Structure 1
Amino acid sequence: MHPRSQPRSRTVRSLWAGAVATVGLVVALIPGAGNAGAADNPYERGPAPTTSSIEAARGSYAVSQTSVSSLSVTGFGGGTIYYPTSTADGTFGAVAISPGFTATQSSIAWLGPRLASQGFVIFTIDTNTTLDQPASRGDQLLAALDYLTQRSSVRTRIDASRLGVMGHSMGGGGTLEAAKDRTSLQAAIPLTGWNTDKTWPEVRTPTLIVGADGDTIAPVATHSEPFYNSLPASLDKAYLELNGATHLTPNSSNTTIAKYSISWLKRFVDNDARYEQFLCPLPRPSLTIEEYRGNCPHTS
């Protein structure tokens, strides 16, 4: 080796590092540079996701909550709004969630702070009566979204064009009803849904159907699977069947439900392609997933 080779190599590396640093400084000084993803999609909220971040009990946003009395609303039974405390990132998408037959909002309360902390306004609602059927629950979900975006104390924090619905059991059946009635919704997630109507070719909203392998109240063979199969083939849709789960599994904190609900809402309410990695390739069967079907999200 030439005796001057090593010092020259260090000099070249030093000059190269300096050039890179200079370019980095120039890029950093350009408004919006280094944040191309956010510039391309103004609805992105929060840091780039990881498996750990979507499985965590809380996301990156601190969350506040406010109660809504049934006496102050019409069309549904009131509820609790969970929302990111900070307004620094602008507006957020919003999701209304309905409980199931005989249940109240307490049965789905865990979803409120968990989803809101990822960058959503979440409204867990009570229904007019605990015996309301799915069609009524669908109407009530839409009434709750209208209240949320038009009259609620957090309405200025919400982008009214980016809304979704979720629900458990008959609330899940109501989720499909709401999506059928309001095709402008961006996402729908029925959780162990129950409905006497098994076919949903009218739905135009990206839909993630969650069933449970041990569900004896709304067995997947007569509820979640027919729901999924009847959705248009051209629709962004998925069927997640939980392993070792029952009809009531969505009533308590569940990492698999949260993980894929967050990914679905982020991808379709926020149009955030950073979350496609959790939906495509399709998740494989595991200790918590009995089966997953679906199509990879269509590019916007």
Structure 2
Amino acid sequence: MHLRPHAFSRPLVRAFLAASLTAAGLLGTAFVPGAHAAADNPYERGPAPSVTSIEAARGSYAVSQTSVSSLGVSGFGGGTVYYPTSTADGTFGAVVIAPGFTAYQSSIAWLGPRLASQGFVVFTIDTLTTLDQPDSRGRQLLAALDYLTKTSSLRTRIDTSRLGVMGHSMGGGGTLEAAKSRTSLKAAIPLTGWNLDTTWPEVRTPTLIIGADGDTVAPVATHSEPFYQSLPGTLDKAYLELNNATHFTPNSSNTTIAKYSISWLKRFIDSDTRYEQFLCPLPKPSLTIDEYRGNCPHTS
């Protein structure tokens, strides 16, 4: 049978060609309209995740870093910014991380490149003094976010509507203070947090509380657990208690902390539901997890 030109509709022809090329192994995602995650969610960054990818020491992005002197900023003590080197994917969400009592940014530096390589701009900061209390550290986290998004040389790489905070020990207590003060934050992750204020019903930011079963500095019974329980029941929240861990476990590279922090930040800063699978159903106790609580499925 002789076919007239244009007998087939263009969509049908495109579908036929795509199927043929895919079968031949010639069609990559670059050829498929809307194949990039931005088609459904403009904030998704990086390839589809797997257990291997979130447990890896590095993600898919090459990372650069730049130092920020305390002399050139106000409201906090300077720090180091880690960020995806390429600008091909547009802007990224940003996270500021504060250290604990008597500690410097070096104590949480491992999180910088590990999180940045997954598609975030990450700022590990020093505080004004090593003795600053949680309320002060909370204000410093916000000051650092403001510097990062308004003044820094990397501000054009950041989506100012997608920001989060993390911190260890008193920096973890400061993380809750920051989330309480700035309800527009998209994610908060206190790491073995310390704060004499144990009630946080004002928090509106999705919060992952990470405690440690062997913590004698900020025991979970008097810190992390009350923090979690006091968060609103309607809030997307979770409580991860590390097994066989201490107050200082977050100061060294830790796969469990990294994989759930990455998943939480991706899920709530990037609204990337591809990471929901690692948070819901709730992770079960294991060699590294003593307990995990949370509300599933997440609603944000």
Could you state the TM-score of these two structures normalised by the residue count of structure 1?
0.91
* Structure 2 residue 231 is matched with structure 1 residue 236: no
Q: Which residue of 2 aligns with 1:9?
A: none
Task: Report the count of equivalent residues.
Answer: 283
Summarize deviations over 1:196-216 as a string: whole Å, max 9, x none. Answer: 000000000000000000000
* Counterpart residue identity of residue 151, structure 2: R
CA distance in 2, matches of 1:115, 1:67: 17
* Structure 2 residue 177 is matched with structure 1 residue 182: no
* Counterpart residue identity of residue 213, structure 2: D
* Counterpart residue identity of residue 279, structure 1: L
Cα 1:23–1:68, aligned 2, differ >3 Å: closer, same or farther?
closer
Cα 1:36–1:61, aligned 2, differ >3 Å: closer, same or farther?
closer
1:181 Cα deviation from its structure 2 partner: 0.1
1:40 Cα deviation from its structure 2 partner: 1.1
* Counterpart residue identity of residue 115, structure 2: L
CA distance in 1, matches of 2:164, 2:291: 24
CA distance in 2, matches of 1:101, 1:40: 42
* Contact 2:166–2:172 (CA under 8 A) maintained in structure 1: yes
Q: Which residue of 2 aligns with 1:161?
A: 161
1:226 Cα deviation from its structure 2 partner: 0.1
* Counterpart residue identity of residue 22, structure 1: L
**Structure 2 residue ranges without an equivalent (≥5):** 1-12
Instruction: Tell me the secondary structure at the aligned position of residue 88 of structure 1.
Output: coil
* Counterpart residue identity of residue 256, structure 1: T
* Counterpart residue identity of residue 58, structure 1: R
* Counterpart residue identity of residue 273, structure 1: T
Q: Mapping of 1:37-56 within 5 angstroms?
A: 37-56=37-56
Q: Mapping of 1:1-300 within 5 angstroms?
A: 22-24=17-19, 33=33, 35=35, 37-300=37-300
Instruction: Tell me the secondary structure at the aligned position of residue 180 of structure 1.
Output: helix
CA distance in 1, matches of 2:294, 2:14: 47
* Counterpart residue identity of residue 82, structure 2: Y
CA distance in 1, matches of 2:150, 2:20: 44
Q: Which residue of 2 aligns with 1:5?
A: none
CA distance in 2, matches of 1:265, 1:21: 39
* Contact 1:32–1:39 (CA under 8 A) maintained in structure 2: no
CA distance in 2, matches of 1:30, 1:175: 40
1:24 Cα deviation from its structure 2 partner: 2.7
Moved over 2 A (4+): 18-34, 297-300
Could you state the TM-score of these two structures normalised by the residue count of structure 2?
0.91
**Structure 1 residue ranges without an equivalent (≥5):** 1-17
CA distance in 1, matches of 2:34, 2:206: 31
* Counterpart residue identity of residue 94, structure 1: A
* Contact 1:70–1:76 (CA under 8 A) maintained in structure 2: yes
Summarize deviations over 1:73-128 as a string: whole Å, max 9, x none. Answer: 00000000000000000000000000000000000000000000000000000000
Cα 1:30–1:284, aligned 2, differ >3 Å: closer, same or farther?
closer
* Contact 1:169–1:191 (CA under 8 A) maintained in structure 2: yes
* Counterpart residue identity of residue 183, structure 1: T
1:20 Cα deviation from its structure 2 partner: 7.4
* Counterpart residue identity of residue 49, structure 1: P
1:23 Cα deviation from its structure 2 partner: 4.5
* Counterpart residue identity of residue 105, structure 2: Q
* Counterpart residue identity of residue 291, structure 2: E
